Amino acid sequence: MAKVFAIANQKGGVGKTTTCINLAASLVATKRRVLLIDLDPQGNATMGSGVDKHALEHSIYDVLIGECNLVEAMQYSEHGGYQLLPANRDLTAAEVSLLEMKMKESRLRNALAPIRENYDYILIDCPPALSMLTVNALVAADGVIIPMQCEYFALEGLSDLINSIQRIAQMLNPSLKIEGLLRTMYDPRISLTNDVSAQLKEHFPDTLYQTVIPRNVRLAEAPSYGMPALVYDKSSRGAIAYLALAGELVRRQRARPHTATA
């Protein structure tokens, strides 16, 4: 049965969508079956996967409100090699629609239940806020991968996010764990980057990924071509880093059946 990971951070611009697309493609490269769920109304993971968000007949919004099933909304990312549940601006209406529904926090988990056996990994790209969409992702997930930059406000924001995850675990999803912290847009030439990284190693030694994702032009360029960096430029530092992350993720899953808490 698939491991479901929400890629989440309440702060925007930290590399959530980049991580979703490139981790999904890298897991596919290791012969894993992957489903990527775009749960952000901006639809960036959809476009970055080579699917036109403006031409969708069905999207994750229709799945959440019960207008269609998950398979009917699914698309295939030709360049990434993974299945995609796409999103567009329709998803903004989900916040209001879900509030009026029964079991509103577990709509995504229930939708995923029939197809989890078909995948090895399911990755959920969350919006940059603790919204009802993010709550649905956290209720559906086994673990949370937190991309973060090593900058001044990162640790304060991380503390708030961990508290939110713990509340969701207590109230709605007792099995939810923090799978890992991922340092993104990493530049070791900056002293603050090294200082924050050292603090993360001290406070989260078991959850911090050894892999770091560097600042890389190819990672920034690839989404505009609708493809992961692994296809756009497989020799780029960004593509190599996400391949390393995929390997580390798989090894962690083999080494321990239960993910660690923060």
Which tokens is 215 given? 């600042």
Q: Decide: 51 and 2 in contact? Cβ < 8 Å.
A: no
DSSP string, 179-241: EEEEEEEE-TTSHHHHHHHHHHHHH-TTTEEEEEEEP-HHHHHGGGGTS-HHHH-TTSHHHHH
pTM for the predicted model, two decimal places? 0.95
In which band, very low, low, confident or very high, does the pLDDT at 255 lie, cut at 50, 70 and 90? Answer: confident
Q: Tens digit of pLDDT for each residue in 45-84?
A: 999 999 999 999 999 999 999 999 999 999 999 999 999 9
Q: Decide: 150 and 183 in contact? Cβ < 8 Å.
A: yes
Q: What is the pLDDT of residue 260?
A: 41
Output 96 or 48, whichever has higher pLDDT. 48
- Domain borders along the chain are 3-255
Output 228 or 13, whichever has higher pLDDT. 228
Q: What is the pLDDT of residue 27?
A: 98
Topology of 3-255 in CATH? Answer: Rossmann fold (3.40.50)
Q: Decide: 258 and 177 in contact? Cβ < 8 Å.
A: yes
23: burial class by Cβ within 10 Å (0-12, 13-18, 19+)?
buried
Q: Tens digit of pLDDT for each residue in 171-190?
A: 999 999 999 999 999 998 99
Q: What is the pLDDT of residue 257?
A: 56
> In this structure, what is the dihedral angle of CA atoms 162, 166, 172, 175, given to the nearest 10 degrees?
100
Q: Decide: 246 and 29 in contact? Cβ < 8 Å.
A: yes
Strands ordered across the beta sheet of 208-214: 75-76, 83-85, 34-38, 121-125, 3-7, 143-149, 177-186, 208-214
